[in-house]
Amino acid sequence: MTSTAETIGTAVEALMSAEAVPGAAVAVVADGEVIFERGYGLADLSSGRPVTPDTVFGIGSLGKSLTAVAIMQLVADGRLALDTPAIALLPELRLPEPFPTSAITVEHLLSHASGLPVLPVLEMSLGWLEGSGPMDSYDDLFRYLATMPERPAGLPGERFSYSNDAYALLGKIVERLSDVSYADYLHTRLFQPLGMTRSTLADPTRLGWDDVTSLYDYEDGQPAFRPDWPASALVAPAGLHRSTARDMARYLIAQMREMPGLTNMQRREMHRPRIWRDAETGYALGWGVAPDFRGEPVLAHSGGITGVSSHAILLPELDAGVIALLNVSGGPAREIAEVVVTEALQLPAARELPVYNPP
Query: What per-residue confidence (pLDDT) applies to 355?
Result: 52
What mean pLDDT do residues 135-151 have?
A: 95
Burial of 84 per CB tally in 10 Å (0-12, 13-18, 19+): middle
Tens digit of each residue's pLDDT (9 = 90 or more) over 23-35: 999 999 999 999 9
In the predicted model, is pLDDT for residue 353 greater than 50? no
- Length, in residues, of the chain: 359
What mean pLDDT do residues 44-59 have?
A: 99
Place 296 in a pLDDT band, splitting at 50, 70 and 90.
Answer: confident
Closest CA to 99 of 144, 151, 140: 151
Question: What's the gap between Cα 210 and its chain centre?
Answer: 23
Place 358 in a pLDDT band, splitting at 50, 70 and 90.
Answer: low
Tens digit of each residue's pLDDT (9 = 90 or more) over 257-275: 999 999 999 999 999 999 9
In the predicted model, is pLDDT for residue 51 greater than 80? yes
- From CA 348, how far away is CA 359, in angstroms rounded? 29
Instruction: Give the other-Cβ count within 10 Å of 129's Cβ.
Output: 14
The DSSP string of 150-185 is SPPSSSTTTS----HHHHHHHHHHHHHHHSS-HHHH
In the predicted model, is pLDDT for residue 356 greater than 60? no
Q: Are 290 and 278 in contact (CB under 8 A)?
A: no
Tens digit of each residue's pLDDT (9 = 90 or more) over 54-101: 999 999 999 999 999 999 999 999 999 999 999 999 999 999 999 999
**Residue 312 vs residue 295, higher pLDDT:** 312
Query: What per-residue confidence (pLDDT) applies to 56?
Result: 99
Query: What per-residue confidence (pLDDT) applies to 349?
Result: 63
Tens digit of each residue's pLDDT (9 = 90 or more) over 216-241: 999 999 999 999 999 999 999 999 99
The DSSP string of 208-270 is T-SSB--EEEEETTEEEEE------TTTGGGT--EE-HHHHHHHHHHHHS--TT--HHHHHHT
Torsion of CA 339, 59, 264, 319, to 10 degrees: 10
Helix (H) or strand (E) holding 38: strand 33-44
- Domains, the chain: 4-64+181-345 (3.40.710.10), 68-178 (3.40.710.10)
In the predicted model, is pLDDT for residue 178 greater than 80? yes
Place 279 in a pLDDT band, splitting at 50, 70 and 90.
Answer: confident
- From CA 270, how far away is CA 274, in angstroms rounded? 9
Q: Report the mean per-residue pLDDT for the chain.
A: 94
In the predicted model, is pLDDT for residue 208 greater than 90? yes
In the predicted model, is pLDDT for residue 102 greater than 70? yes
Place 351 in a pLDDT band, splitting at 50, 70 and 90.
Answer: very low
- From CA 61, how far away is CA 288, in angstroms rounded? 11
- From CA 284, how far away is CA 275, in angstroms rounded? 7
What mean pLDDT do residues 139-159 have?
A: 96
Closest CA to 276 of 127, 167, 159: 159
In the predicted model, is pLDDT for residue 322 greater than 60? yes
